[in-house]
Chain A
Amino acid sequence: MSDVEKILVHVRVNGEPREALVEPRTLLVELLREHFNLTGTHIGCDTTYCGACTILLNGRTTKSCTVFAPMAEGGEIITVEGLSKNGELHPVQQAFAECHGLQCGFCTPGLLLSTVHLLSKTPKPTEKQIRKGIAGNTCRCTGYQNILKAVRTAAAEMEKS
């Protein structure tokens, strides 16, 4: 522990107001995992590469390992825990499950949020737009083919509803 002054950080996480008194160097991903016990957001590379820690901050996908917690003050955060509603999986989660868009699952929370963000901006993405939309998320199991299929499936399902 250092002797610098701690900062009280207020955010809304998945619709709930939360606060914590933290060292300024606390990363947003640590605030979520260690202080709020929301361990669905994963720490992968911890170097702004892999995207396992992707969350939505004020509606934008963000690598939560690359934000100091006080910078998120007042922010609206959505994590993977906030995607399902009333016990029903989000259509993007459903599509990843049905298309087998994962193997070990470590990258999945980040990919889900990147997909949600992509489809909110581009409801009918082309193959190229999908690839660009998930380029910041690394999966070392699947070879991506089923992930691409899951994104296409989710887009089609969301268009229906």
Chain B
Amino acid sequence: MYAHPFSYHRAGSLLEASRLLQELGEEARLIAGGQSLIPLMKMRMARPSALVDINFISGLSDIRRSDGHLRFGALARHADIEASDAAASIPIVHDCAAGIADVQVRNQGTIGGSLAEADPSGDWGAVLLTLDTSVRCSRSSGERTIALDDFFKDAYTTVLVPDELVCEIIVKQPHAKSGGAYLAFKRSAPVYATASAAVQLTLGDNDTCKDVRIVLGCVGLMAIRAKEAEKLLRGKKLDEKRIESAVEAARAAAEPQDDMRGSADYKRVLIGALVKRAIGIATRRARGEQVEAGHEYVGR
């Protein structure tokens, strides 16, 4: 399949990329890994007049740790994150990176592209909202750093202005007694999840929940923070009854729609099960246990 014709521009630096976007106008798009944009262009659901390729900008794919923060360059590929020490130190990040689509897509797709696309089914948005994450963005007139909570505006919409691009994703290393888990249920490896749940939980004394964030993916126009569910657990002892009520609250926060991945009713049942299991795994990990989590599909 052929995309609609476009002109191609290779940026050698962030500044050049921003200037090109400015010159080429609002119909121009950035391309990083291209694993979402290219299929959309081939199906003619996107038809940019010009592409600005940022893959040749050096130093934009580094993954490093400094002052209690992990810093992912916008072009860090999911596969690089999967293999990084940084991801190993935050299990929920590894859960996400290791299971996005399949090996080939993880080899190309980037964390910056995933956030900037703001697909409601994107994995990174849900996962990184459970952590203290900010997005460093750059344009020719300067830089700004935006908290991830303020970054997404709507489905496929962020606060980025047309000549602005994501250059780094900064994640604060969670507390030592904190554990997280990401569970994404999908029909097969290469597809988006039907529903997903991301939970990051910090334990206090006597198995109480000191703090928790619960985020639901694929069941709304954006990833949804289940704040009522969080409130039911925060400061409380993690017993079965409390967890059950938090699961109910999370289910109520979901806004799923019927689509080819499943009916809204089915997704509401699914999201409850995922949240419940993710709370369990996050708690066990917070206690220091090694537990597997991630994307799940038949035949894995």
Contact = CB atoms under 8 A, between A and B. Distances in A.
A70 interface: yes
B189 interface: yes
B8 A132 contact: no
A49 B192 CA distance: 11
Between A7, A24, A49, A135, the greatest number of chain B beta carbons within 10 A of the residue's beta carbon is seen for A135
B39 A48 contact: yes
B206 interface: no
The DSSP consensus for interface residues of chain B is loop
B8 A46 contact: no
Interface residues of B, number: 35
A37 B31 CA distance: 27
Given A48-B35, A51-B104, A70 B53 contact: yes
Given A24-B7, A71-B31, A47 B104 contact: no
Contacts of B55: 71
A16 interface: no
Contact of A49 (B4, B79, B190): B190
A68 B38 contact: yes
Given A46-B42, A135-B300, A24 B51 contact: yes
29 contacts: A2-B5, A4-B7, A7-B8, A23-B5, A24-B6, A24-B51, A25-B3, A25-B41, A46-B1, A46-B42, A47-B42, A48-B38, A49-B190, A51-B102, A54-B104, A60-B107, A67-B34, A67-B38, A67-B108, A68-B31, A68-B38, A70-B8, A71-B31, A73-B10, A117-B103, A131-B299, A135-B190, A135-B300, A136-B189
A131 B107 contact: no
